[in-house]
Amino acid sequence: MLPLEGIVVVALEQAVAAPFATRQLADLGARVIKVERAGGDFARDYDTTVNGMASHFVWLNRNKESVVLDLKSDEGRRTMDKLLARADVFLQNLAPGAAARLGFGAEELRSRHPRLIVGDLSGYGSDGPYRDKKAYDLLVQCEAGLVSITGGRDEPAKSGISVADIAGGMYAYTGVLTALYERERTGEGSAFEVSLLDALAEWMGFPYYYTVYGGKSPSRTGARHAAIAPYGPFRAGGGAQVFLAVQNDREWRKLCEEVLALPELVEDPRFATNPDRVDNERELTTAIETAFAELAADEVVARLDRAQIANARMRTVEEFADHPQLADRNRWHEVDSPVGPLRALQPPVTLAGRAPRMDRIPDVGEHTDAVLAELDDDPA
């Protein structure tokens, strides 16, 4: 038995953030009923790269049941309310105010269904001057200041993944778990909200404190670190790159003595402390790459491993898909879908003695008839 078996989640969701949250709940055994419009969640049409299906949708929607309802109709709203009467959790990420206009605002639902947990996920929150502003992932990254500190020295860049959506989805997921735990003690449901800006703002804690109390923003340093050195990519023989990270003076000493064979760098005043190394990062990089120049990348990695200095080789996405660590630990699993079996990663949380849930990705409205038949059979 998975931890959330018996929990019913009704999700009025679209795009990335809310579907990411509910997929985590479904992975843990919750029954997730995904309510879609007639055309389906628009993320279904982002692309057709996964044998005709959209990569975002495949990633976010396994283990769910798809029900199509017209919530602008009286019949659709009545059906939705019947679903919510049987549910433990309602999570939605429509535009601000849209759910309330349909009769599914948190206050109204809590009065009708006292044990229901209601989660609202939005771009900027339910009040304030940005309440009605459209909020897509890139735009929230911009508003949170993330883009200003990401990229190379000459040009800012967004994160390569939907980090604002993922942050919001993860806090919505933990919000549901917290509310379920609270209900176990009180017997009452509750309501909570998460905004993408609030979620990503939390993740901006380091640059916020660094800037407000240090007097300047962290520099854009590409794959390097704005406040730790050496940290990032370094060229080895033949131009290959090796990434390494030194976290403290003990590791710095080991790097100089055991990897670079340059013990004199330990006493070099330019590199005596981490702030010194950050201030003199260009000279530091030159010293390290000069020592690496005659070594193949594999030899650099071997030396770093022997000295227990954290390191990595930069993999492409194709190489990640064949990562030996994931393969050796059997982290891949097949899931069914409307276009046939697809390879997917197992959930990150591994439960001892219990197989993960890896059920089908639904087609639009695939479960409408079955779910509505359950409602018709309900004597209530």
Q: What is the reported pLDDT for 380?
A: 53
Single residue among 267, 293, 313 that ends a domain in this structure: 313
Q: 200 and 160 share a domain?
A: yes
Residues ≥6 apart with Cβ < 8 Å to 164: 17, 137, 140, 141, 144, 146, 196, 197, 199, 200
The DSSP output letter for 66 is E
Domain-located, residue 209: no
Q: Are residues 72 and 153 in the same domain?
A: yes
Same domain, 300 and 331: no
- Given 313, 335, 357, the domain boundary residue is 313
pLDDT value for 119: 98
Residues 163 and 307 in one domain: no
Q: What pLDDT, on the 0 to 100 scale, is given for residue 112? A: 94
Band (pLDDT 50/70/90 cuts) for residue 314 is confident
d(CA 193, CA 181): 17
Task: Identify the band that residue 74 occupies on the pLDDT scale cut at 50, 70 and 90.
Answer: very high
> How many distinct helices (H) and strands (E) make up the chain?
16, 11
So what's the pLDDT on residue 204? 97
**Pair (306, 339) in one structural domain:** no
Give the CATH number, domain containing residue 241: 3.30.1540.10
Residue burial 301-314, b: 16+ Cβ < 10 Å; e: rest: bebbeebebebeee
pLDDT at 265 (0 to 100): 96
Domain membership flag for residue 3: no
Q: Please indicate, yes or no, if residue 98 is contained in any of the structural domains.
A: yes
Percent residues over pLDDT 70 in the chain: 99
Q: 113 catalytic, yes or no?
A: no
Q: Are 47 and 130 part of one and the same domain?
A: yes
Query: Final residue of a domain: which of 274, 292, 313?
Result: 313
> How many structural domains does the chain have?
2
What does the pLDDT look like over 11-34, one tens digit per residue?
999 999 999 999 999 999 999 999
In terms of domains, do 300 and 370 share one?
no
Classify residue 1: in a domain, yes or no.
Answer: no
73 and 194 fall within a common domain: yes
What's the whole-number average pLDDT of the chain? 95
Whether residues 146 and 179 fall in one domain: yes
Q: Average pLDDT for residues 198-209, to the nearest whole number?
A: 97
User: What confidence tens digit (pLDDT) does each residue in 345-380 have?
Assistant: 999 998 899 988 999 999 999 999 999 999 987 655
Claim to verify: residue 282 and residue 339 sit in the same structural domain: no
Q: Are residues 240 and 342 in the same domain?
A: no
Distance between CA 52 and CA 46 in Å, rounded? 11
Question: Does 96 share its domain with 167?
Answer: yes
Indicate which CATH number applies to the domain containing 172.
Answer: 3.40.50.10540
Check if the beta carbon of residue 232 is closer than 8 Å to that of residue 242. no
- Distance separating alpha carbons of residues 180 and 4, to the nearest angstrom: 10
Catalytic residue, candidates 56, 113, 225, 367: 225
Which range marks the domain in which residue 240 is found? 231-313
pTM above 0.75, yes or no: yes
Q: Is 222 inside a domain boundary? A: no
